[in-house]
Amino acid sequence: MGRILADRMTSLATALLVVGLMTWVAAPEALSFHVRSGLSLFVWSYGLGIPVVALGLAMAEAEGAALAFALAAFIVPLVMAVEYSEGFLLAHQNLLALTLKGPVAEAILSAAAGLALLSPGWLRPRALILAAALQGLMLGVAIGLYSPGDEIAHWFTRSAAFAAITAVVCCLAVLRVARGPWWTIARPILGSWLVAASVLLAALPFVPKKQPVAAPVEAPAPPADAQMHQP
Amino acid sequence: MASIASKASSHLAEASALVACLILISATPADAHTGTGVAGGLKSGVLHPVLGLDHLLAMLAVGIWGAQMGGRTVWTLPVTFPIVMAVGGVMGMMDLPLPNVEAGIAMSMIVLGLAIAAAWKPAEGIALLIVAAFAIFHGHAHGAELPSAADPAAYAAGFVVATGAIHVLGVGIGLVLGRILDGMLSRALGAAIALMGVYFLAT
């Protein structure tokens, strides 16, 4: 059963990667900026990208119903938020305000993925589904906020949502094949990194920004023949 | 005979920890981290624990000690350290005073190095407590530089990931060296880390 699921996930991940690559290459010139920006959003914004990768890794251990629920919990709110972004953003103004605070949203995403990895075995499927739902919802809102807002903005939002789903499925598929006893040690360590990062990110908005101390600027030395030009 | 040696090692490590704590209380700060430098983003965050030899050796020691003790501590020590370090980081960011930060970092090298050298295997709770106490000092040093970073969020992510990666490297080194010469190489490395800690404390 586990082997069959691993094979299916690998096939799905490969198919998603091929579709993503073809879309990147074959997008018409008028749409290519939106498509490529959407597809690469999670590469450039690692505050969003790292928790997505961690969620995919956390899903690799889930089996059967827990995996199906976790995938659905991630994909459904993400797609809803992207497809109905305007109405969604209006309906979730509190969430929007939270997302706009920058590091706080990243802190929540990191903490959710980190706790899904750190949780003990009996709690892990529940924590995973909760983290997946939270990430899907918040990423959907974040993608809406990054959207250029023009009449072809849906090319950006759909590409970004596709990239998020691809990233989760690829990480899940790779780890299902590669995991071994080493993952028992690596899983909680990775989880602790995310929780630690989330603690720092959550504190960040409340810390006054320090001005970097600039190095003293020395006046340039006058040229050796400066005296000669004096009146 | 083996149990006598083990007990002697354990007493040696306990005595070392006590002496180390006494030195820590009396030490003066080395001021290697001023908290006023211009930090960048992810790269600065990654490089801070990697290029600071004191951080690097102490965090390697956490991994090596965990591997040496075996069982759950292989991962519980490297899991505890970053989470508590983040708390220390917040203290540093908020400018909450913590005395003798640099001395604390040097002492972490001495205590963890001696623990490895003595192959000390205390109860898991005691090991976690020791690691957590020193993590506060490391976190404070990183956190003090965080608010002045150009991209504080990236800096935070960078130093947490680098710290964890060094722990994993330490676990790997500990697991490999632990199989060579009945773990003597691992213990020698611990002694070297402790000596480096004495050097940092003295300078």
- Nearest Cα neighbor of A136 from A39, A63, A69, A40 is A69
- The answer to whether the CB atoms of A46 and B154 lie below 8 A apart is yes
CA dist., res. A25 & res. A162, Å (int): 15
Best A52, A200, A213 member to test B by mutation, with max B CBs in 10 Å, is A200
DSSP assigned state of B180: S
A35: nearest Cα among A20, A52, A46: A20
Strand, helix or coil for residue B11: helix
pLDDT at B197: 93
pLDDT at residue number B52: 83
Query: What is residue B7's predicted lDDT score, i.e. its pLDDT?
Result: 52
Q: Which of B75, B79, B90 sits opposite A200 (nearest CB)?
A: B90
The CA distance from B51 to the nearest CA of chain A, in Å, is: 19
- With a CB-CB cutoff of 8 Å, which residues 135-194 of chain B face chain A? 143, 146-148, 152-154, 156-157, 160-161, 163-164, 167-168, 171
pLDDT of residue B179: 85
Say yes or no for a CB contact (<8 Å) between A103 and B152: yes
Q: Is the pTM of this model over 0.80?
A: no
Exposure of A81 in the CB half-sphere (CA atoms within 13 A): 29
Taking the C-alpha atoms of residue B111 and residue B130, their distance in angstroms, rounded to an integer, is: 9
The whole-number pLDDT of residue B40 equals 64
d(CA A186, CA A204): 27
* Mean pLDDT for chain A overall: 79
Answer whether A143 touches B (CB < 8 Å).
no
| A31/B contact by beta carbon, under 8 A | no
Residue A75: per-residue pLDDT: 92
Q: Do A192 and B38 touch (CB under 8 A)?
A: no
**In this complex, is the C-beta atom of A46 within 8 Å of any C-beta atom belonging to chain B?**
yes
Write out residues 86-105 of A within 8 Å (CB-CB) of B: 102-103
Tell me the C-alpha distance between A134 and A35, whole Å: 25
Is A41 within 8 Å of chain B by CB? no
Cβ separation of B160 and A102 shorter than 8 Å? no
Residues in chain A, pLDDT under 70: 1-7, 30, 43-44, 46, 85-86, 88-102, 209-231
Nearest to B164 among A189, A206, A207 (CB): A189
Q: Which of B174, B187, B185, B203 is nearest to B12 (CA)?
A: B187
Secondary structure in 3-state letters for A156-223: HHHHHHHHHHHHHHHHHHHHHHHCCCHHHHHHHHHHHHHHHHHHHHHHHHHCCCCCCCCCCCCCCCCC
Is B149 in contact with A204 (CB distance < 8 Å)?
Answer: no
The pLDDT of residue B24: 39
B44–A contact, CB cutoff 8 A = no
B61 to chain A, minimum CA–CA distance in Å? 16
First-residue to last-residue Cα distance in chain A = 94
Q: What are phi and psi of A63, to 5 degrees?
A: -125, 155
Residue with tokens 């209380």: B25
A106 vs B153: CB contact, 8 Å cut-off? Answer: yes
Mutation site for B-interface testing, chosen from A52, A117, A210 by largest number of B Cβ within 10 Å = A210
pLDDT at residue B68, as a whole number: 92
pLDDT of residue A73: 93
Asked if residue A116 lies in contact with residue A131, where contact means CB atoms within 8 angstroms, the answer is yes
Q: In which residue ranges of chain B is pLDDT below 70? A: 1-40, 147-148, 150
The structure tokens 């918040």 sit at A138
Distance CA B173, CA B186 (A): 8
Q: Which residue on chain A is closest to B143 by alpha carbon?
A: A200
Looking up tokens 């809406």 gives A144
∠ Cα B147 B151 B157 (to 5°): 90
Contact assignment for A200 to B147 by CB distance below 8 Å: no
Interface probe for A, chosen from B93, B96, B131, B166 (most Cβ of A below 10 Å), is B93
Q: Which residue of A has its CA nearest to B145?
A: A210
Q: Please provide the average confidence, as pLDDT, over all residues in chain B.
A: 79
Query: For residues B77 and B63, is the Cβ–Cβ distance under 8 A?
Result: yes
Contact B157 A197 (CB under 8 A): yes
Encoding tokens for residue A64? 């059967």
Residue A209 is predicted with a pLDDT of: 65
Query: How many beta-carbon pairs below 8 A join chains A and B?
Result: 103
Residue position matching structure tokens 């899983």: A187
Which residues from chain B sit within 8 angstroms of residue A197, using beta carbons? 86, 156-157, 160-161
CA angle A178, A179, A185 (to 5 degrees): 140
- For A116-167, give the DSSP string: HHHS-TTTHHHHHHHHHHHHHHHHHHHHHHHS--STTHHHHHHHHHHHHHHH
Work out the angle between the directed axes of helices B152-177 and A46-59 (0-180°, nearest 10): 40
- Cα gap B85→B92, rounded to integer Å: 10
Residues of A in contact with B87 (CB under 8 A): 199
CB contact residues (below 8 A), chain A span 149-188, against chain B: 184-186, 188
